[in-house]
Chain A
Amino acid sequence: MNSLFGNFTHFEALLFFALVVSLTFAFLSKRGNKERVKYTLWAFLAFLLVAIGIGWLMYPFSQ
């Protein structure tokens, strides 16, 4: 398991975190499989968009 996950990049860790948290939030807040799938996809994409957006905004400060 260490060799599989031990070398996760920041982005891979973000993808995994976003997927797992989105799925859990969907089951916590929605009823019915269709609603849950829709919510999981929406939250997953929102996590990615916000993370990439914030990363892009912070990029000039890393120079």
Chain B
Amino acid sequence: MKREALKGNQMMGIVAAIAGWLVPGLGHLVLRRWSKAAVYFLCVGGLACVGLAMRGGIFGAGAEDMFDRLGFFADLGAGVFYFLAHQIQAAGPDVAHATGDYGTRLFAAAGMLNILTVLEAYDIGRGGESR
């Protein structure tokens, strides 16, 4: 399918970035980058869901030390998966076992990965060079 060019501007970039943060891939969907949208949604969503299925821990907003605060910002990057974490992970976290600890890292990695895709969506939206 031939891609129709969208004329970028600052507002389009901001809208794409917010959409992409809320739902991974949605920013690219708004910008009509279909394959990127699908891959980012599946990869970020897959990483987040597997992290939760492994009973990884989720960092809350009231973290006291710096590492927990960094973990909170990493987790927050996953957007809707962060806000729905407690619904998806009905059994709750279990970081006493190694698998839960790996799950914590996978979920944080999903958030960081989504931040990269958000930056790309912002760049494409404002008319920057896109791959």
Which positions in A face B, CB cutoff 8 Å? 1-2, 4-8, 10, 13, 16-17, 20-21, 23-24, 27-31
Contact = CB atoms under 8 A, between A and B. Distances in A.
B53 interface: yes
A27 B102 contact: no
Interface residues of B, number: 24
A7 B99 contact: yes
Given A20-B46, A31-B131, A6 B109 contact: no
Contacts of A10: 98, 102
B31 interface: no
B99 A24 contact: no
Contacts of A13: 54, 99, 102, 106
Nearest to B113: A24
Contacts of A24: 39-40, 43-44, 113, 116-117
